[in-house]
Structures are given as structure tokens and as C-alpha cells.
Structure 1
Amino acid sequence: MIEPNIIKKQQCTLAILLILTVATAITGMAMGYGALSFDRLIPTLIGQGSFKESFILFSVRLPRIVITLLAGMALALSGCILQSITRNDLADPGIIGINSGAGVGIAIYFLFFPINTTSFIYILPLVAFCSALLTVLIIYIFSYKKNEGIQTTRFVLVGVGLSMALSGLMVVIISSTEQIKVEFIAKWLSGNIWGADWPFVLAILPWLVVLIPFTLYKANRLNILRLSEQVAIGVGISVEKERLLMLLASVALAASAVSVTGGISFIGLMAPHIARSLVGPRNQLYTPIALVLGGWMLLFADTIGRNIVQPEGISAGIMVSLIGAPYFIYLLAKK
């Protein structure tokens, strides 16, 4: 049974995070390259703005804000799952190579296959998922030991090594192709929110609509998987089946996010860890907080990054890494 004061703390934390998210979204709507002041937001939202104001808000900034929120939530939830099934707080889809695997698949598809502009947006998450799934299966095979299950430290180390190898492969792939396509891949690698349009929202949204309720439903199983192999087997859970199922969900979430935002790391590391430090280790409590926190963190990083230098700005992936890399070193030293 969860203590009432912990539930109350979770609710207060969620309320504060939602307020922060709304405040950051409003700030993001009014700031940027192009005139749209705070006092014109409400008139523009209700259809009383000029053509320029409506275009800036509804065609440029709002879809980018929604995409960033959804991608941050997906990356945070992916990190929650990975850290539970590996029992390792350093697990993150960017650090262990899932994002790099998705990136290689996207690069190969974009550079060497004919692009259909109608279906490209919706095929991209599927391509990213298949490529990331192949990557994580390789990591799983090399970190699994018979009669002992998955070796959590090895899982992270193999993932880091494979991520570096895939980054090298990406350089080889793009070194012999035309300049225009190379520029797109370079922006993707830096974590630029390139899929900032409403069709990309429709491309990523179904993944989250299915996988967020599914993960919350599996919260208790994730609690048990986080304890130990013996405990999980003792309560009657098919450990490998549940772990593989949740690993699939984690890969799908990360791949759907990075297919429209590019290579963004550390959100899946920081959001779950911060959420656990606030309300404890139960997935039922910290997963909703990590969801909102991940969305807000990526939105905040993108809002700051695109307004530091006009008009191009600094990519959200770089802004997140500036915070996430020191945080990763701190966790590494602590663990």
C-alpha cells in the first residue's frame, strides 16, 4: 500500500511540473525569430491575429512545441523502462546505442532509398524502430548469460561500445554522398528538432497513445523486474518474456522520438532518476512524473537553444547534452 503523503507529494510535483510546462510553452510561443509578442498570443489563438501572426504560431511554433513535448515524454518513458529491466540507473536509449541504431537506419533509408514525400513522414518511425530493434538485440545477446540472465553492467558497456561503433559507421555512410543530404543527417545527429510540422505530430502520436498506457499498466511488473531474477521468478513472472516485451516498448518509444527530433541523449537518463529521487522507486509513482519532466526538459532546452543565437539557434540535443553529460558523470561517480 502506498502511503497517502507520498501520493500527495506525487500530485503536488505533477501540478508544479504541469505549470512549468505550460509557462515554458507560452514563452516558446512568444519568443523566436519573427514578431509575435505576449499580448498578441491570446488574440492569435482565438483567430483574431494577422496572417503573419497566425502563420508563425500555428504553422511554426505550436507544432514544434507539441513535437518536442511528445518526444521528451517518449524518451523519458523509454529510460524508465530500460532502467527497470536492466536494474541500472545509467541506462538511457541515447547512451546505450538505441538512438545511434535508429540514426543509422534513418541515414541509410534517407541516403540510398527513393523518398516518397507522402509516406516518408510515417515510414520514418518504422525504419527507426527496425534499426534500433536490431541494435538492441545485438546488445541483449552479448550481455545475456545462461542461468544468470542479463548482465546489467555488461548491457550498458556493450551498448556504449556499440553506440561508438555505429557513430563511426554513420561517418563512413555520409562521407560519400551528396552535400544536401549530408546536411540533413548532420542536423539529425546534433539533435535538431527538424520534424516541426503537424504531420510529424500525427506520425509520433499513435506510438505514445498505445505505449504510455501499456507501460503504466505494466508498472508493477517493472517494479518486480527491478528487484532481482530470483524474486521475479519466485512470484511467478516469466522474466525473459516480460523483459523482452518491455524492451520492445522501450525501443519503440525511443525510435519514434528520435525519428522526428534527431539524436537526443540524456533525457531518458535524467528524467527517471530525478523522478525517483522525488517520490521513490515505485514505477506507479515516478513514471508519470518522469513523463511530464522529460517533456518539459526537452521543451525548455529547445526554447532556450533556438533563442540564444538568431535565426538558427543551438539544437536541443546540444543544449540537453550540456546539462546531461555532467549529470551522467555525477551518476557514474556515485554508482
Structure 2
Amino acid sequence: MSQLQLIRRQQIVFGGLLLLTLATIAIGMGIGYASVSYDRLIPTLLGHGSFKDEFVLFSIRLPRMLITLLAGMALALSGSILQGITRNELADPGIVGINAGAGVGITVFFLFVPVDADTFAYVMPLVAFIGALVTALLIYSFSYSRQDGMQPMKLVLTGVGFSLALSGLMIVLISRTERAKVDFISRWLAGNVWGTDWPFVIALLPWLVLLIPYALYKSKTLNLLALNEEVAVGAGVPMQKDRILLTLAAVALAASAVSVTGGIAFIGLMAPHIARALVGPRHQLFVPVSILMGGWLLLLADTIGRNLADPDGIPAGIVVAFIGAPYFLYLLLKK
């Protein structure tokens, strides 16, 4: 397939995903524990709705949907970057332990540090980033050797081990604390979207605004890193520097997302794979599709989950896991 055909195909796929996302948002705005009549949606959005309709849409429904959309985008981009720099298509921030590292940081902060309600939404992504970064450094050091460099499969296995160990550590930490805090961490572990107010949207948005352009700018570098180290070095890529910076970007994206959505895995695994299958392996083409695919997948999962059981619904992380776990096993057997 020629380059022009691939670009045209990407545009069609991207447009189709955009329509799917908008349709999911439109459907999601009208359904839920407190429903809003569809014929009242447009007047309410234009400021002519009742107090109840405006409260449901602007205070409950829209911020939650934007959070899930942005978080899904962040997780998908993080997975795309990790799969490129590790040359391993099984890499995902949830599977390789980054989400668990962010969770330990959030757990320690939430349990032992006095929390200021006014700054809580803005501090949590930073705390999650620190926890995820320390974990990523440990995983990288355990999967790297001077003779063979960074070993992709060893990285995945090491990450799975760290993820299990850190999840156990979180359970130990919450086992002797007060009930309210235990409930919060437990819901976080299940992937329950808890940051559903506008401050959390504002806290998450800058990470995406900064790091999406950076990842797209580094698409050619990711193409070379995805091949092998010799090709990247031969092409003049400052491999160690770019790999470190891209790893930091992937960690920041994943940490900022899970700090408000809980421990959601598999979005960063599935979205890049589906995007590559649709538009090919070049990062310039599949990364934008992957970003939108991840946003739509998490938005859809949360919309389904919150309407399956009243009033709290099923956590989005559990809905995603029902799809993602079999998909991960399929990829593991295939590769």
C-alpha cells in the first residue's frame, strides 16, 4: 500500500473513531442513574435547561466523561511509547508495573500525608508520577544488562513481578487503616473512576497538551527504536537520551491518568495494537489513531460499567479487564 493510500486510510479511520467518540458521548449524556431526556440535551448544553438537567450534565456527567476520554488517551499514548522503546508489543503501563508504582505512591500519600482539599486534584498526578518513575527505574535496571542491553521480554516479566509485589504492598498498607480510606484505595485498585470534578480535568489536561505533541514529534525516533539499537545508532539517534526522555513521557502519561481513574490496565495494550492493525506500524500514522482509540475504549467501558448496576455501577477497570485479559493471553500465545 502506497504512502498516500495509508494516509488516506488513517484519515478515514480517525474520522470514524471521532464520530464513534461523539456518538458515545451523546448517548452517555442521556443515560445513567439520573437520566436526562435526549430532547433536552441541546437546550441544556446551550444554557436553557432545568436546574436538575444542568446539574446532572455539567456537575456529574460531562466532567466524568472528559476524564475517562483524556485518561484513555494518556494510557494509549503511554502504551504506544513503551511498545516502541522496548520493542515489545506486550508492553503496557498496567502490565509492566508502572500503574502499580503510581498506586503505591498515591496510597502512601493518601494514608500518611495530610490532604488539602483545594490542592488534592493537582498534587495527586505529581505523587503518582514520582511513584511510577521510581518503579520504572527499578524495572529498567533489572531488565538491563551491559552485554545484551535492555531485554524486552525480561522487562515485561520483571514488570509483572513488580506489579504483583506492589499490589500486595498496597493491600498491606491499607490492612490496618480506617474504613473510609480503605474503601477509597480498594476502589482505586478496581479501576473505579473517582476524579469526576472539573479540577481533575484541569489537572490532567496539561500533561496531554505537552506530551502528545512531543510524542508525535518523536515518531521517527520511535520508528527507529522499534527496529533495533544498531539501526537507531547508525541513523544518528541519541539512543540513551531519547529512550530516557520517552520513558519519562510514558510514565508521566500513565501516572497522570491512573491518579484520577484508578488502576486501569490493558488500554495501553489494546489501543496501539488495534491502531497498528488498521493503519500500519509507522508511528506517524498509528499513534494519533491509538490516542483516540484509547480514549474511546475507556469512555465506552465507563459508560457501560456505570449503567450495568445502580447506583454505583461496575468500575471501568473491571469492564476493560474482561476484554483486555483474554486479548493479552491471545497476544502472548501469538508472540
TM-score (norm 2): 0.99
**Could you give the per-residue CA deviations for residues 135-158 of structure 1, whole angstroms, max 9, x where no partner exists?**
000000011111432011101100
Tell me what 1:152 maps to. Answer: 152
Tell me what 1:115 maps to. Answer: 115
Q: How does 1:1-335 map to 2 (within 5 A)?
A: 3-335=3-335
**Could you give the per-residue CA deviations for residues 24-74 of structure 1, whole angstroms, max 9, x where no partner exists?**
000110000113111110111111110000000000000001001000000
Q: Distance in 2 between matches of 1:39 and 1:333?
A: 48
Moved over 4 A (4+): none
Residue type of the alignment partner of 2:234 = G
Q: Name the SS for the 1:138 alignment partner.
A: helix
Residue type of the alignment partner of 1:70 = L
Q: Give the CA deviation at 1:2.
A: 6.2
Q: Name the SS for the 2:209 alignment partner.
A: helix
Residue type of the alignment partner of 2:312 = E
Q: Distance in 1 between matches of 2:318 and 2:32?
A: 18
Q: Distance in 2 between matches of 1:333 and 1:153?
A: 13
Q: Distance in 1 between matches of 2:141 and 2:3?
A: 40
**Could you give the per-residue CA deviations for residues 267-314 of structure 1, whole angstroms, max 9, x where no partner exists?**
000000110011111000000000000000000000000001111110
Q: Give the CA deviation at 1:3.
A: 1.1
Q: Distance in 1 between matches of 2:240 and 2:231?
A: 13
Q: Distance in 1 between matches of 2:35 and 2:266?
A: 33
Q: Which runs of 5+ in 1 are unaligned?
A: none
Residue type of the alignment partner of 1:324 = G
Identity among equivalent pairs (%) = 64
Q: Distance in 2 between matches of 1:14 and 1:86?
A: 26
Residue type of the alignment partner of 1:314 = I
Q: Give the CA deviation at 1:239.
A: 1.3
Q: Distance in 2 between matches of 1:283 and 1:35?
A: 40
Q: Distance in 2 between matches of 1:281 and 1:226?
A: 10
TM-score (norm 1): 0.99
Residue type of the alignment partner of 1:260 = V
**Could you give the per-residue CA deviations for residues 220-270 of structure 1, whole angstroms, max 9, x where no partner exists?**
000000000111111111211111110000000000000000000000000
CA-atom RMSD in angstroms: 0.9
> Using a 3 Å threshold, how does the CA distance of structure 1 residues 95 and 54 change in structure 2: closer, same or farther?
same
Q: Distance in 1 between matches of 2:334 and 2:249?
A: 29
Q: How many residues align?
A: 335
Q: Distance in 1 between matches of 2:237 and 2:148?
A: 15
Q: Name the SS for the 1:259 alignment partner.
A: helix
Residue type of the alignment partner of 1:289 = V
